[in-house]
Amino acid sequence: MPSISHLSQWQVWPAIWLLVSSFSSRVSSLLRLSIQPVATAPNDEVLSLDLEENDFLYRIRKNSRIVYVSILDGGLLPPDSRTDSGRVLSKLRHLPRWEEEWRTLTVRRGAHGVQSTLDEFSPHGLDAGQLHIPGAIFLNLLDLKTVSRISDRISRVKYNGDTWILKIAQFRHEISALRREVSVYSTLTSNAFPLAPKFIGFAYEETKDRVVGFLMEDISGHHPDIHDLKDCMETVHRLHTFGIVHGDLNRHNFLITEHGAKIFDFEVSVVEGNVDPAAAEEELNSLAIGLEDESGIGKR
């Protein structure tokens, strides 16, 4: 092929045009490649975390599932990457077997590097025998839209236009308190107790064998003070007649409503066949102190 120097001007311009067109075509191709939509990150989110000195447990929404990751070597996550959802997930996505199907992932450092074990432990949940409360519904936790957070374990949620209060056990060590509370609501519901929020149903993660929370009525009212002592005493007395000792009477566990003083938060409550009169009197006597306490103990 002759060089450009040996071509006439009529031959040179077409040759240059071909070179420019070829270069422009390649640049355009590169530009098209560079502006292609980048695949978005999975729809993951750290929902809860439980950090010990060298042992980290994460509760994670992984696409349409809730899973748990236990890190048994603190050195696997730098200190500045342990509590920030984005940083945690950027590290976890590089773990061995992350993309496989599992409910729980246990991660440790072994002789041959980082190792991940699938479903070494089981997700927590309430016992099936506790789930038989009259009229209770069952809903997938991910179908509930969070309206506001009240505390780490309590939030206001919406489902099909209804607004309820959701209370969950994020991790296994919180299940015992949830179990006690559900036991109390079972008794109150069976006896149509009118001075507590109505029990709506259960919330589960993925399947109904993983019930980790319950839904109750969202009631309106104000927290009492000593001027509401009589109404609150009436509520506690009626609670005792159903065999229940509340165990944590403070002003933040009552709401004064148009239907009377309603009581809630039964995490430390005890269901007894018959409340011992001395225990009942002691709890009633402690009520005035609880209503006068301005320390904020018990506030969400």
The domain locations on the chain are 44-118, 128-292
Q: CATH classification of 128-292, choosing from 3.20.20.70, 3.30.70.890, 3.40.50.720, 1.10.510.10?
A: 1.10.510.10
Residue 180 half-sphere exposure toward CB, CA atoms < 13 A: 17
* Residue percentage of the chain with pLDDT more than 90: 78
Measured in residues, the chain has a length of: 300
pLDDT at 33 over 80: no
Sole residue written with tokens 């009633």? 284
For residue 132, give the nearest of 202, 72, 69 by alpha carbon: 202
pTM for this model (two decimals): 0.83
For residue 88, give the nearest of 132, 34, 25, 45 by alpha carbon: 45
- Kindly give, in sequence order, each residue whose CB lies less than 8 Å from that of residue 290, ignoring residues fewer than 6 positions away: 249, 250, 251
pLDDT at 6 over 60: no
Question: In the predicted model, what is the mean pLDDT of residues 35-62?
Answer: 79
- Number of Cβ within 10 Å of residue 233's Cβ equals 17
Please indicate whether residue 129 or residue 146 has the higher confidence score (pLDDT): 146
Contact between 62 and 96 under an 8 Å Cβ cutoff? The reply is no
Confidence of residue 295 (pLDDT cuts 50, 70, 90): confident
Q: What is the pLDDT of residues 150-207, one digit of tens each?
A: 999 999 999 999 999 999 999 999 999 999 999 999 999 999 999 999 999 999 999 9
